[in-house]
Amino acid sequence: MNIALLACKTLEDEIMYLYQKHNLSYPIIWIESGLHNTPKKLHKRIQKELDQISQTDILLLGFGQCGNSLNNILTGNYETILPRTDDCISLFFGSDAARNAYGQNHRAIYLTAGWMRGEQNILKEYAHAYKRFGAESAKDLMHMMYDHYQELVLLDTGIYSIDQLYEETADIEKITDLKRVVLPATLSYLEKLLLGPWKNEEFYHFKPNSTITIKHG
């Protein structure tokens, strides 16, 4: 049985850790994380990759629904497995339910080392605004963009230095006035995705040559 993985590069640290832990060798196709800010572009990028996949029996998708970007994606001649989560953040919580339970009392933005390396993040947004509008206006813009939130939650997946991530996000705290909080995360959902079995209550199953039509939100 030939397996392949198509995954967001935001998850690269955690996926490669699990690959080494379990001695996995099936191919990975990475999708750049910055596309999440433009779901239509992400949709096109994913579709382009799926159209080129061959000699595969099962394709694993290392994504959540990500702004409905997978809606109406056409699969190829392989079974497709997708986590039943709204986005990648829920993967690190272990489920949408666990993430939503935390979110009931914490209006938070979530970060990992992978998000900080992404093509677009809060610091890069600020740098762009600073260049265009100057320091004062850039900070006002950041406050306006993130006024709804209270916390900057650093998800500790246990595979990188959380102290280093804490230092790297100090400037984000300054420009947004969001309080940094370290929260333990889990790799259990990702592990289930990579290893199986893929239980129906945790994963969507799409038959070969079908259409993904799930919507969240």
Q: According to the model, what pLDDT value does residue 217 have?
A: 44
Tell me what pLDDT residue 36 has. Answer: 66
Which of 20, 28, 14, 26 lies closest to 61, judged by CA?
A: 28
What is the spatial distance between Cα 59 and Cα 78, in angstroms, rounded to a whole number? 7
Instruction: Give 10-residue mean pLDDT values along the chain (217 residues).
Output: 94 96 97 76 92 96 83 94 92 95 93 81 78 84 85 94 93 90 97 96 96 72
CA dist 210 and 204 (Å) reads 12
Residue 34: predicted pLDDT: 67
**Three-state DSSP string of the chain:** CCEEEEEEHHHHHHHHHHHHHHCCCCCEEEECHHHHHCHHHHHHHHHHHHHHCCCCCEEEEECCCCCCCCCCEECCCCEEEEECCCCHHHHHHCCHHHHHHHHCCCCEEEECHHHHCCCCCHHHHHHHHHHHHCHHHHHHHHHHHCCCCCEEEEEECCCCCHHHHHHHCHHHHHHHCCEEEEEECCCHHHHHHHHCCCCCCCEEEECCCCEECCCCC
pLDDT at 39: 78
Sequence letter at residue 45: R
The reported pLDDT for the residue numbered 135 is 82
pTM, two decimal places: 0.89
The pLDDT of residue 4? 98
